[in-house]
Amino acid sequence: MKGIRYYVNSECGAITEIKTCYASLHSSKAHLHNEISIGIIEKGSCNLEVYNKNYFLEEKTILIIPNEIIHKCSPTDLKNWSFKMIYINEEWLKNGFYKNSEIIFKSWML
């Protein structure tokens, strides 16, 4: 199956979005996201450009792109290409980790 699918969760006022892409070129132009991007290349490979540096990424590679970072991703073979990305709101993530970290830290100190 070819194409792009989005799954969106907007609980607690924060939006978390998952994108799956198979054999479809979504964006090969330089762009950025307001959210932190975490992804995995499931099939194939791509060239990722960040800060005018190129990185060759292969199948089973996990990548994290901080929010507001301009990047460009180009698959090397569009017919042999699939990936999944999750986009997470930075403030929501910080709040969750800071709160949980504080609780965990305090319980270790007792």
Q: Give the mean pLDDT of the chain.
A: 77
Pairing of strands 3-9, 45-50: unpaired
The answer to whether the CB of 44 falls within 8 A of the CB of 75 is yes
**Confidence band (pLDDT; 50, 70, 90) for 18?**
confident
Average pLDDT score over residue span 16-37? 77
Count, residues in the chain: 110
User: Which is nearest to 32 in space by CA: 87, 91, 92?
Assistant: 87
Tokens linked to 90: 């930075």
- The yes-or-no verdict on residue 12 having pLDDT over 60 is no
Residues 68-104 have pLDDT tens digits of 999 998 899 988 989 898 888 887 777 666 655 554 4
Beta bridge partner(s), residue 38: 64, 86
